Amino acid sequence: MYELRWQPPYDWAWMLGFLGDRAVAGVEQIDATGYVRSFASGEHRGLIIAEPDEASATLKVTLSEGLQPIAELCLQRMRCLFDLDCNPQEVTTALGTLGAARPGLRLPGCVDPFEQGVRAILGQLVSVAMAAKLTAKVAQRYGDALDERGFLCFPTPQQLSAAQVGDLQTLGMPRKRAESLIYLAQAACDGLLPLTAPEDVEQGVKALQTFPGIGRWTASYFALRGWQAKDIFLPDDYLIKQRFAGMTPAQTRRYAERWQPWRSYALLHIWYTAGWEPEV
C-alpha cells in the first residue's frame, strides 16, 4: 500500500460524488469510501484502489500486481485525478467570499487525458448520466477485459482509431460525434493531442477547436479535466449563463477575471452553489 498526502480541508464527499455521477461501468467503481478503477499502460494493467483516510490526511492507494512495475505512474495519476497537490488556503484566499463556504472543493482531474477527451466528446448535449452510459458502451465494445473482478480497460487510441463510424452509431451517437471520436483517437496516435497542459493553455484550447466536432465548450472542459488547467472559465456554459443572467459571455468573462489564476475553482464553486449571483 502507498500513501499520498494532501493539505486539509478536503471535501471527499463532494469529490467522490462528482466522480461517481460520471463513473463508467466496467472501468470504475466509486462509493462513499473510495475509488476503484482499471488502468493500463503498455503491457502493464491492473486495478488501482484509492481510499481517503481523513484522520491522517492521506490517500491509501493499493495497486494490483500487474501495476507494481509502474507504481510511480499510477500514483502520479491519482495525484492528478484527486488534485492532491492543491494548496486550498491559497485558492480560498484568492476566491474570497466565493470560496469561503466550501474551502475543501478540489478540481477533479483525470487518470488518462485521452480517455477524458473521449468523455468530453460523448458528453456533448446530453445529461451526465447519459454520457456515462454511452461511454460505458464504448468501453464495453472496444476495451480489453481485465481478469480482475470483472473490470475492463478503457479503449486505447489505437483501438478507437480503428473503429467504424457505423459501428459507433449503433451505440447511440450521431454520425458527426462518431467521426469526431475517431479523429481524436487518430490525433492521439499521431501525437497531435497534447496529453499534458501546453505552456500556453489558451492557445492549446484554440488548437483543440480545429478538431472536427470540438467547439469552445468541449475544448475548455477537456482542458479543465484532461490537463487539469487551473484557470479555465466557461462563459458559454448553460448553468453559467443562468448564474450570470443579463450578462453577455464577454461581460461574464471580464467579471471572472477577478479570480485569476484560479478560475477553474471559481467555476466549480459557482456550479455547485445553489442560488449564487454575481455582485452588482
> In this structure, are residues 218 and 232 in contact, taking their beta carbons and an 8 Å threshold?
no
Note if 190 is an active site residue. Answer: no
The 3 state secondary structure assigned to 155-195 is CCHHHHHCCCHHHHHCCCCCHHHHHHHHHHHHHHHCCCCCC
> In this structure, are residues 79 and 4 in contact, taking their beta carbons and an 8 Å threshold?
yes
Catalytic residue selected from 83, 112, 231, 237? 237
> In this structure, are residues 179 and 165 in contact, taking their beta carbons and an 8 Å threshold?
yes
Q: How far is CA 244 from CA 230, 234, 256, 275, in A?
A: 21, 11, 11, 11
Phi and psi at residue 234, to the nearest 5° = -120, 80
Q: How far is CA 111 from CA 63, 116, 264, 275, in A?
A: 14, 8, 18, 32
The closest of 50, 53, 56 to 78, measured between CA atoms, is 50
Other residues' Cβ atoms within 10 Å of the Cβ of residue 150:
9
Catalytically annotated residues: 237
